[in-house]
Chains A and B, each alone.
Chain A
Amino acid sequence: MNPPANTPVLLYVEDSLDDRVLFAKACARSNARFKLRYVEHGQQAIDYLGGAGEYANRAESPLPDGVLLDVKMPILDGFAVLRWIREQESFAHFPILVFTSSYQHSDIERAYAEKATAFLTKPSDFQALINLTGALWECFAFPNFQIGPLETLPQFKRP
């Protein structure tokens, strides 16, 4: 497969430094060459997407092709960000992947109710994380690759 013309930009909203580091390492291992941008909580995510303050420069802070969104965060949690994004007309169909260590039913249902594109549980196994990043890369890097139902992502059979 040919690499994409424009490198997909992925905004990872995550307060845990460990998760950010491991995600980047996993991407490197799976050859998922996202242009990764990080924010540490919900408010920063909203600022980033709105181009507010330090994120005004779109050359440095380009609009992402998708958002990887942790749920449990200080200041503003993932669900609040999700709601905000869906309220913006320009982001109505924007790919938002809720990415959390929870696999509680209530969280999954809530995420889909708030119109998340997908709900992904953070794998504890590092190899699984590598596989996940690879699959994500395929989703974003190749235009014909449609994000299907949860089960089509190889790592997301429920435990």
Chain B
Amino acid sequence: MEQALYELLEGINRAESQKAVYEAAMDFILAALRCEKVSILLFDDAGVMRFVAWRGLSDGYRQAVEGHSPWAADSLDAHPICVADLGAVPADELIKTILAEGIRALAFIPLTSRGKLLGKFMIYFSVPHEFTPDEVRLAQAIATQLAFAVQRQKGEEALRQSEERCRMLVQQVKDYAIFRIDTHARPMTWNEGVQRILGFTESEFIGRDVLASIFTPEDQASQVLQKELETAARTGSANNDRWLCRKDGSRFWAEGSTTALRNEAGELVGYSKVFRDCTERKLIQSELTSVKDRLAADLKAMTRLQALGARAVQPETDVSALFVEVLEAAVAIARADRGNVQLRDPETGGLRIMAQRGFEPSFLKFFQHVVDETAACAVAMGTQQRVMVEDVTKSPIFEGTEALRVLLEADVRAVQSTPLLSREGKVLGIISTHFDHPHRPSENELHFLDILARQASNALERTQADEALREAKTKLAAANEDLDKKVKRRTESLNETLHSLETLLYTIAHDLRAPNRAMQGYAHLLLESHSQSLNDEGRFYLQRIIDGALRNEALIRDLLEFGRLVHADFPCHALDPAQNVRAVLHGLESEIAALHATVEAAGEWPKVIGNDAALSHVLTNLVSNALKYRRSGVVPQIRIYPELSGQDSYSYVRLCVQDNGIGVPAEQQETIFQLFQRASNVDIEGTGMGLAIVRKAAERMGGDAGVDSKVGEGSTFWVELRKASSP
């Protein structure tokens, strides 16, 4: 039996396919167990028992019994089942079908591998058959071998299929170059991507020493491939992003990775490489980056220009700070290595360096004051246009000049000079930027330099104008100061005059009144004590002396009052004019009574801004006048009342004193308020100062005084004062 099983093993091991395994197994089963029919059934993925191979079974039979199994798919203890005579068991539909196929005896032999039920094989006999234990053991042994083979074949098949799928997939991928290389970097596989990206056909690629050639000469020189493989071996994988060369030598940007491949023992067996052609993206990216850089540079330039522009409209105080700023902006905009700003010296006509960056003293000394045309800046000044020298060694401007030697010593290979032009187009100065390598600034950079030059010119012109303005201001200030001093001196002398005037007024008050008093007093005594020794004429003269002295006194008093109104401090505040009216009427009580005059004071009295004493004085004056300038034979009727006035919103209050007196001729209604002017229709004594005092007092209180009158009917004198803000 061992010999027989060995044969079976040989047979099924030789089998290269599942089918061959089944055929070999069935040949052996028919021979070894001497049965007439045989079949092999396996559980499919859905757990249904299906025929995979058979001998001597009709299609109808297979269809009828397929799916039947004495064991569940997950059964762990499936044992062989033998039926010696189907005719002896109760016949159901299934049994009838089996019998109809000419089968009288059969056995189910489970195929299990590592405890798992895979399926079964069946043996059939056309006559009743008693199964011996040996037969069953043999069948089980066959089942074991078969199950093992089936299992192995199944695994190999799956692997084969998966490998095939994978290979097909890889081979058909066109966007990626995917291939394996051995440890000597020789390609072992190829795919469409290799053809498409690298340009190698399968035969040109596999097994050939071509891998090094896809690296750029620079990378080949620096052993990039070796380093990449070392990294992959060490860390598992390595980055593959780099410029590579196609078969035709053209370059492309590859992105991908290299992965180390190891066998089960962990030994390095090769590498897989995957990459794709990202040239387009790379180019777009680098284009984007450069656009971004350029935009950032432009933005920076514009920001600088804007800041400079903002400064240009402000009064510039520090010119040297302005030059430094302009220079920094120019160097930044042109992305230059050095630079300087020169100003035209109006005396020599040459250019002087006002600010510089990156130059040694020897250079500065040489170019400190440029007068001839052996430099770019001087040419720019002469032509009033920008001069660009892309390479100083090839420029006619510097050819054979000392300047060239100095420039080269200072590492200057390229220079541009942009003139600063005034509004009238005259050169104010030059901005130059210098480069260590032959260079020509981009159009964009030149455009910004133009703007910078314009703004710098504006700021410069403005600064120069400011300086002139400042100078003029200083002169003006000096003149003003002079004037101030003069005014101050004049004011002082005027104050002195005023002071002496006040002293004079005081002297008048005191000294002039004393003799007046004496004259009046003695005349009085004379008239009283010695009138018997005088005749009427003498007494008349004495009375005239007394009257004259009294008049004189009144005049002095009014003069003093007027002087006081003009010069004295005059504090004003809110007053209730009703109180002043009351006090005034009280003061004039006896006069009013003596004349049997009627005085009416009525109305709502708004508060006014004024000086208490002055207001009382004014009102006394007006009421006195009303009593004094009465019509003969007419009892004085006086009405005192307030009236809101003022053009805007009644901000003034008129205090009116209305009488039924003689009135004031229309043409004199203004002149009576002037000093010593009296109305023509009065024959009563007066100083001619009363109304002048009234108006002056009103003016000092921020108001006015006036009259409305008709001769023969009466007058309304008023004093107008500011209304105090309510309440």
Residue positions of A touching B, CB distance < 8 A: 16, 18-19, 22, 25, 72, 100-105, 122-127, 129, 157, 159
Contact = CB atoms under 8 A, between A and B. Distances in A.
Contacts of B518: 16, 18-19, 22
Interface string B497-526: 000000000100110011111101111110
Contact of B514 (A16, A105, A157): A16
A132 to B, nearest CB: 12
A45 B517 CA distance: 24
Contact of A126 (B510, B514, B525, B568): B525
Nearest to A100: B510
A72 B507 CA distance: 10
B517 A124 contact: yes
A19 B549 CA distance: 15
B639 interface: no
B521 A129 contact: yes
A102 B557 contact: no
B390 interface: no
B631 interface: no
B509 A126 contact: no
26 contacts: A18-B522, A19-B517, A22-B517, A22-B518, A22-B521, A72-B510, A100-B510, A101-B510, A101-B513, A101-B517, A102-B506, A102-B509, A102-B510, A104-B506, A104-B560, A104-B564, A105-B564, A105-B613, A123-B517, A124-B520, A125-B550, A126-B520, A126-B523, A127-B524, A157-B587, A159-B557
Given A72-B510, A101-B509, A124 B516 contact: yes
Nearest to B505: A104
Contacts of B613: 105
Contacts of B550: 124-125
Given A125-B520, A126-B523, A159-B557, 7 more contacts: A22-B522, A22-B525, A25-B521, A124-B516, A124-B517, A124-B520, A126-B524
A122 B512 CA distance: 13
Contacts of A103: 509
Interface string B514-543: 111110111111000000000000000000
A122 B517 contact: yes
Nearest to A25: B525
Interface string B345-371: 000000000000000000000000000
Interface string B13-26: 00000000000000
B515 to A, nearest CB: 8
A127 B513 CA distance: 16
A103 B518 CA distance: 18
A18 B513 contact: no
Contacts of A123: 517
Nearest to B507: A72
A19 B524 CA distance: 14
Interface residues of B, number: 24
B231 to A, nearest CB: 109
A112 to B, nearest CB: 16
Contacts of A18: 514-515, 517-518, 521-522
A157 B520 CA distance: 21
Contacts of B553: 124-125
Contacts of B522: 18, 22
A124 B549 contact: yes
Nearest to B613: A105
A152 B322 CA distance: 83
B265 to A, nearest CB: 126
Contacts of A105: 564, 568, 613
Q: Which one of A105, A125, A127 has the greatest number of beta carbons of chain B within 10 Å?
A: A125
A122 B510 CA distance: 10
A129 B564 CA distance: 26
B509, B517, B522, B550, most chain A CB atoms within 10 A: B517
A101 B613 CA distance: 20
B632 to A, nearest CB: 26
Contacts of B524: 126-127
Contacts of A157: 587
Contacts of B568: 105
Nearest to A101: B513
A43 to B, nearest CB: 20
Nearest to A126: B524
B557 A126 contact: no
A93 B514 CA distance: 30
Contacts of A22: 517-518, 521-522, 525
A129 B523 CA distance: 14
A32 to B, nearest CB: 16
Given A124-B550, A127-B524, A157-B587, A104 B517 contact: no
Closest 8 A/B residue pairs (Cβ)? A126-B524, A18-B518, A22-B521, A124-B553, A126-B521, A101-B513, A124-B517, A72-B510
Contacts of A159: 557
Contacts of B515: 18
A80 to B, nearest CB: 16
A104 B550 CA distance: 19
Nearest to A124: B553
A22 to B, nearest CB: 4
Contacts of B516: 124
A124 B523 CA distance: 12
A159 B621 CA distance: 11
Nearest to A122: B517
Contacts of B506: 102, 104
Contacts of B549: 124
Interface in B314-350: none
Contacts of A125: 520, 550, 553
Contacts of B517: 18-19, 22, 101, 122-124
Interface string B445-477: 000000000000000000000000000000000
A159 to B, nearest CB: 6
Nearest to B556: A124
Contacts of B509: 101-104
Contacts of A25: 521, 525
B1 to A, nearest CB: 156
B81 to A, nearest CB: 148
A19 B513 CA distance: 11
A126 to B, nearest CB: 4
Interface string B571-607: 0000000000000000100000000000000000000
A137 to B, nearest CB: 19
Nearest to A16: B514
A126 B520 CA distance: 7
B521 A101 contact: no
Contacts of A122: 513, 517
A82 to B, nearest CB: 17
A100 B560 CA distance: 15
A3 B521 CA distance: 28
Nearest to B552: A124
Contacts of A124: 513, 516-517, 520, 549-550, 553
A28 B364 CA distance: 112
Contacts of A100: 510
